[in-house]
Amino acid sequence: MSRLRSIPSVESLLQHPDLAGLAERAPRPVIVQAVRDTLARLRESLRGGAASMSPDELASRARALAEASLRPNLRPVINATGIILHTNLGRAPLPEAAVEAVQMAARGYSNLELDLATGSRGSRGAHLEPLLRELLGAPAAIAVNNNAAAMLLALNTLAAGREAVVSRGELVEIGGSFRIPEILERAGATLREVGTTNKTRLKDYERAIGPDTGVVLRVHPSNFAVVGFAERVEREDLVELARKKKVPLLEDVGSGAMIDLRPFGLPEEPLLKESLRDGVPLACASGDKLLGGPQAGILAGTKKLVDACRSNPMARALRLDKLSIAALEATLRLYRDPETIGSAVPALRMIAEPASAVRARARRLIASLGAERASRARAEVVPCTAEVGGGSMPLARIPSFAVALSASGGTIADLARTLRLGAEPVLGRIESGRLLLDLRTVDRRELPRLVAALHTALDGKRGIG
């Protein structure tokens, strides 16, 4: 146990030049905690029979711990997965105009709930509703925290204590935690399933609708497709039936696409505007999927139904904060110009970019690696497929190009890990034993950061194996 007595004191280790030098960048309590943790680990390993450590070694470990705890937990990463709306990586990157609006709203005061014309209290919804009405052609609209919140609010408003009629083919789970039956239950509604997984007919709905029906729900099964014998009731027919039976119809269109993406080779995706134009009295969608804005849920439709949702006390708990309102307003404003929307919204730009431009970026990346590094990692440009992601368009494949790297030294999983853990984390995907860095989701302006991260990761591997 004499070795335990050789452990330096916290005070003496704090005097070490490595740690004293850190004092300019790190608050003292952070450094002290790092030293304590380092010494506690040493004590632990000495008890386990390990050899002691020099003060230099201890100081360097404490410094690394302190530096790690100074790094923000939420950090930028380079998305080289080729998945455009990657839910784990924050879905849609915001348009530049939205970023500026967020900064404005964050930095100072704003007229969030003040009517500047009268000087009296205003509504935070007033910044979004006129734009949503204009873009969607709807009489009324509100925005809440996300699409799950929009569904919760609408279902609770229309069907608490009553039945929600849904096709069995639409009882989907989206994003691992959003399940239609569970949201329904939490909204206080009883699920009334109709039809089967692959076929639901108008008659099935007709039979289920009765005095207990609070809402008929139609859900876009964004992230799955039934292939083979399938039958779904047309939207127009459901609109007509709900009208005849005098029950509200709620449609969850999912991705919130505002423009037709078929010109870019993607499948048809329901548009909020079309749902409303077809006579659906209340429709909802996400703000951070194909709309390309901040996390939000949009509810639009008749004044009567939207007002009912608006005055539900639950709306207060689900409302948007000022930063999201700023970002959503700025994003929606961009949709006024159909000419520029494809380039102004990053998610749409990434979908629309010609594969040849992606390939050019991949070639540039290899050139920036330098011949020696590139040949060591056997770097080459390969064709691949990118995806929309975010639970949208599961079958859509977007032709893309990646830089493929092979492991030199360790395994390919080691290389992926090194890149993920770097100062500038890079996420790619492993395919057939190679690491693919898909350039479709890497912006031109991110290239220098990606190059620097690759230099560090590949050079760190030099000499191993």
Binding site for ligand PLP (CB under 6 A): 146-148, 174-175, 178, 219-220, 222, 252, 254-255, 286, 297, 391
Displacement of CA 260 from its chain's centroid (Å): 21
Q: Which is nearer to ligand PLP, 142 or 219 (CB)?
A: 219
Under 8 Å between Cβ of 95 and 334: yes
Of the candidates 446, 391, 334, 440, which has an alpha carbon nearest to the alpha carbon of residue 95?
334
Taking the complex as a whole, how short is the minimal distance between the CB of residue 454 and ligand PLP, in angstroms?
A: 32
Tell me the residue length of the chain. 465
Which CB atom, from 147 or from 441, has the smaller least distance to ligand PLP?
A: 147
* Among 78, 84, 77, CA closest to 392: 84
Q: Which is nearer to ligand PLP, 87 or 418 (CB)?
A: 87
Least distance from C-beta 272 to ligand PLP, angstroms? 12
In the complex, least distance from residue 253 CB atom to ligand PLP, rounded to whole angstroms: 7
Q: How far apart are CA 154 and CA 71, in angstroms?
A: 40
- Residue closer to ligand PLP, measured from CB, 8 or 301: 301
Q: How far is the CB of 82 from ligand PLP (least distance, A)?
A: 19
Query: Which CB, 82 or 391, lies closer to ligand PLP?
Result: 391
Nearer to ligand PLP, 175 or 409 (CB): 175
> What is the smallest separation between the CB atom of 153 and ligand PLP, expressed in angstroms?
12
Q: Which is nearer to ligand PLP, 163 or 251 (CB)?
A: 251
Q: Which is nearer to ligand PLP, 38 or 275 (CB)?
A: 275
How far apart are the C-alpha atoms of 261 and 103, rounded to whole Å?
30
Q: How far is the CB of 196 from ligand PLP (least distance, A)?
A: 20
CA separation, residue 308 to residues 113, 209, 317 (Å): 20, 21, 15
When the beta carbons of 59 and 290 are compared against ligand PLP, the nearer one is 290
CA separation for the pair 325, 95 (Å, rounded) = 14
Q: How far is the CB of 391 from ligand PLP (least distance, A)?
A: 5
Q: Assign residue 351 a region (left: φ > 0; alpha: ψ between -120 and 50; beta: otherwise).
A: alpha
Closer CB to ligand PLP, 184 or 219, in the complex? 219
Least gap, CB of 222 to ligand PLP (angstroms): 3
Q: Please, what is the minimum distance in Å from the beta carbon of residue 86 to ligand PLP? A: 13
CB of 148 to ligand PLP, least distance (A): 3
